C-alpha cells in the first residue's frame, strides 16, 4: 500500500546483470567517493587542554540555523533548501552504490539511478515551535531504524553473495533495502531538513 508523504525516494532496480568484479571489490571502490562525501559533511574534531568539541557542517550546517530561522523569522531560505536537497541526492547515490544496488559509480551531479524529491516548504505554514522537539518525537523511528539497519546489513551481505553467483540483486532483498533507505529519508526530512510537520509513517513502502 502506498503511503502519502511529501517526500519520495526511488532507486531503479537493475534489470541487467551487475558486474561481479566491481561488486566483489565494492568496499574498496567506494572509498574515494566516501571521502568526498565526508569532506562535504565537513566534520572536524577539535581538542584542547580543557575541552573537546565537534563541529559539524554539511547537512548539519543547515540544521541548527534552520531551527532559529523557523522559530524567529518563519523563513526557509531557498538556497538552504537547495543545498540540503542536492546533498541528500548525492548521499543516496553513494548509498545505493555502497549497498550494491548499482554498479555505476556515483556522480556528484547527475541523477543516475536515484530519484529523490522533496517539495520546497512554505515556512509560514510550518509550526514555528515544532523544530525544537522534532528530534525527540523522532526517537521511536530512530529506534526502529536501528534494528532495520542491522537487518538491512544482513540483507546486503546476502545480496553480495547472490550477485557474485548469479549477477542479480534479488528483487525482494532490493525492495527491503530501498524501504529502509526511504524510511530513514522521511525521518531525516521531518527531524533534520524540516520541510514538513507531517509525522513520518512507520512503513517501508512508497
The phi, psi pair for 129, rounded to 5°, reads -95, -20
pLDDT score at 59: 53
Question: Has residue 201 been placed in a domain?
Answer: no
Report the distance separating Cα 89 and Cα 110, nearest Å: 9
The phi, psi pair for 122, rounded to 5°, reads -90, 105
Question: Has residue 205 been placed in a domain?
Answer: no
- State the cell numbers at 163: 550477485
pLDDT score at 51: 39
- Statement: residue 116 has pLDDT above 50: yes
pLDDT in tens, 1-38: 446 789 999 999 999 999 999 999 999 999 999 999 98
pLDDT score at 85: 93
**Which of 41-45, 101-105, 162-166, 167-171 is the least confident region?**
41-45
- Statement: residue 171 has pLDDT above 90: yes
Question: Has residue 200 been placed in a domain?
Answer: no
**More confidently predicted of 44 and 27:** 27
Report the distance separating Cα 56 and Cα 36, nearest Å: 15
- Statement: residue 98 has pLDDT above 60: yes
Question: Has residue 129 been placed in a domain?
Answer: yes
Query: 148: burial class by Cβ within 10 Å (0-12, 13-18, 19+)?
Result: buried
Q: Containing domain of residue 62, as a range?
A: 7-191
pLDDT in tens, 45-58: 333 444 333 333 44
Domain count, the chain: 1
Q: How many CA atoms lie within 13 A of 161 on its CB side?
A: 5
Asked if 172 and 151 count as a contact pair (C-beta separation under 8 A), the reply is no
Count CB atoms within 10 A of the CB of residue 9: 23
Question: Has residue 64 been placed in a domain?
Answer: yes
pLDDT score at 64: 81
**More confidently predicted of 162 and 73:** 162
Question: Has residue 168 been placed in a domain?
Answer: yes
- Statement: residue 206 has pLDDT above 80: no
Amino acid at each position: 500500500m502506498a503511503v502519502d508523504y511529501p517526500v519520495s525516494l526511488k532507486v531503479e532496480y537493475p534489470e541487467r546483470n551487475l558486474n561481479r568484479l566491481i561488486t566483489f571489490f565494492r568496499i574498496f571502490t567506494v572509498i574515494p567517493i566516501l571521502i568526498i562525501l565526508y569532506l562535504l559533511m565537513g566534520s572536524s574534531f577539535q581538542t584542547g587542554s580543557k575541552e573537546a568539541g565537534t563541529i559539524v557542517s554539511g547537512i548539519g550546517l543547515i540544521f541548527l540555523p534552520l531551527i532559529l530561522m523557523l522559530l524567529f523569522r518563519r523563513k526557509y531560505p531557498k538556497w538552504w533548501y537547495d543545498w540540503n536537497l542536492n546533498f541528500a541526492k548525492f548521499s543516496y547515490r553513494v548509498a545505493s552504490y555502497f549497498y550494491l544496488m548499482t554498479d555505476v559509480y556515483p556522480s556528484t551531479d547527475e541523477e543516475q539511478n536515484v530519484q529523490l524529491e522533496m517539495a520546497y516548504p512554505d515556512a509560514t505554514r510550518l509550526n514555528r515551535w515544532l523544530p525544537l522537539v522534532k528530534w525527540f518525537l523522532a526517537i521511536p523511528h530512530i529506534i526502529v531504524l536501528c534494528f532495520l539497519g542491522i537487518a538491512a546489513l544482513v540483507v546486503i551481505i546476502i545480496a553480495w553473495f547472490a550477485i557474485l553467483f548469479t549477477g542479480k540483486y534479488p528483487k525482494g532483498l532490493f525492495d527491503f533495502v530501498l524501504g529502509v533507505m526511504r524510511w530513514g529519508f522521511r525521518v531525516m526530512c521531518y527531524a533534520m531538513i524540516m520541510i514538513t510537520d507531517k509525522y513520518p509513517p512507520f512503513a517501508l513502502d512508497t
